[in-house]
Structure 1
Amino acid sequence: MKAWTVHACLTAILSVSSSAYAATDLKIYAASSMTNAIDEIVQKFEHKYDVSVTSVYGGSSSIARQITNGAPADIFISANTKWMDYLVDSGVIPRDSVTNLVHNRLVVIAPKSSDTVSFNFSDLNAWQQVLEGQRLALGNPMSVPAGMYAKESLTHLGIWKALERQIAPAKNVRMALALVERGEAPLGIVYQTDAQLSNKVKIVGELADNSHTAIIYPAAIVKDSTESKQLFEYLQSSDAQQVFAQYGFQ
């Protein structure tokens, strides 16, 4: 009888401990372009609040679909408003829980060792001379926000149709960056924040802000809890904003 009682008590204690841990083990799903900034912010948050946080990164479209299929996200940060709206329209996230967190900019990059310098982005011949029949790396323009912004910008410049067949569509912006880093593409279009993290590429110019939709990163609480609200508020704090600024977010 006593042995059974001890076993039952231990089971109950372990169950309570497991539940308590699970309640403070947060999961933040974020666009891959936020990897470095979120990693640092999460580290600061964990140290300050003694709450465990797991970060999951990927393309915003992929993450949004994972969340609609039941992925255990507590907070989601998208690289554009489209995929946040997708979750709102799907009834997964309430509209009033969404807030715009930071902004970014779009730049054209080339391998560090390349002779390419800044050129007129509205001049199709200039693009062709640099590409020399090779690929232009960018996120998949059908689903990846960075690629969607790039398509908007090149369409605005009147050269998208001519360059479309030379696009090397990547699953996310970090993969597009990697193609240029490895010299597999002579040019790429990525976020400024990604470009400035790499010592293997150089920025040859910036695509005008008025040539594409504003690059906004909306964030939202997916699973409401005291801890998720705590983390959500911390993402908007001056401490977190300083980290975002350090990595080039505006």
Structure 2
Amino acid sequence: MSLWSLRVFLVISLACTNHAQDPIEIYAAVSVAPVLEKVISSSSSTEVYRINSASSSLLAQQIKQGAKADIFASASVEWVHFLESTVIHKWEGLTNKLVLIKNKEYSGSCSFDDKTPLSIADWTHVPAGIYAKKALEQLSMFEQKKPYMVPSLNAHAALAYVVSENIPCGIVYRSDAQISNEVDIVPSELDSITMDIRYSIATLSDNAAALELWNLIKDPKNKSIYEDFGLYYRDTEP
């Protein structure tokens, strides 16, 4: 799996094709963008597409302000609800979980009840950070750990801090932890927390080609690809 997905800023992936039509614009949360690229590129589809990747919250705000998006893949159902008036179809069949990670070279503690710095996505608006905050609140550890938490722009930025050794420990999605060989998953209290970390992938236009790609994305035949990327594919939606 490529580390291209660790980029903090907008990532654009344009399918290689000679067709002249406008590309299908896919706005995808950074934690799901790499697997969507794999699903589409591994298929027989010849549709022209472009994946724009950032945090779900930033993408939703861009779409709300008029950015053209045919498909929106959010790491949180709430940001799709935010765009409800423009949603045509949606699928909520992918889930994830939170894990505690550390840099492989770090030999110290990653405890939630000490002063070890902790990398975490911004808990005020980024889904990965919001989920992490809720988990720590369930453990009654958020307030005591808050002074030592370093918020980042999105889920992969939180991972990048740990990969680069700027921060020794972090809370990320399981799928993010699998991106890098530079981190280890650490057993923690998070393992006992049940969180509804559910992706919502929606069509926002009546573009027939976009609907075709959306149907491809949710096709059960891609279950093994999602699982290879650390995501869980639900055979039935909640």
How many residue pairs get matched? 213
- Find the aligned partners of 1:179 and 1:20 in 2 and give their Cα distance: 40
**1:186 pairs with 158, 168, 176, which one?**
168
- Find the aligned partners of 1:27 and 1:202 in 2 and give their Cα distance: 34
| Structure 1 residues 1-250: aligned runs within 5 Å | 21-22=21-22, 25-45=23-43, 48-88=44-84, 91-94=85-88, 97-116=89-108, 124=113, 128=114, 131=116, 135-205=117-187, 207-208=190-191, 210-212=193-195, 214-250=196-232
Question: Is there any run of 5+ residues in structure 1 with no aligned partner, and where?
Answer: 1-18
Q: Deviations over 1:156-210 (max 9, x none)?
A: 1111111112111101010000101111112100000010110111100251464
- Structure exhibiting the larger radius of gyration computed from Cα positions: 1
SS at match of 2:145: helix
CA contact (8 A) 1:29 1:56 kept: yes
Task: Return the TM-score normalized by structure 1.
Answer: 0.80
CA contact (8 A) 2:40 2:216 kept: no
SS at match of 2:82: helix
Structure 2 counterpart of 1:15: none
Task: Return the TM-score normalized by structure 2.
Answer: 0.84
Q: Deviations over 1:202-242 (max 9, x none)?
A: 10025146454x00001110111211111111011133222
Shift in alpha-carbon separation, 1:138–1:35, aligned structure 2, 3 A: same
Question: Is there any run of 5+ residues in structure 2 with no aligned partner, and where?
Answer: 1-18, 233-238
SS at match of 1:33: coil
| Structure with greater helix percent | 1
Identity over aligned pairs, percent: 30
Letter in 2 for 1:71: A
Letter in 1 for 2:184: K
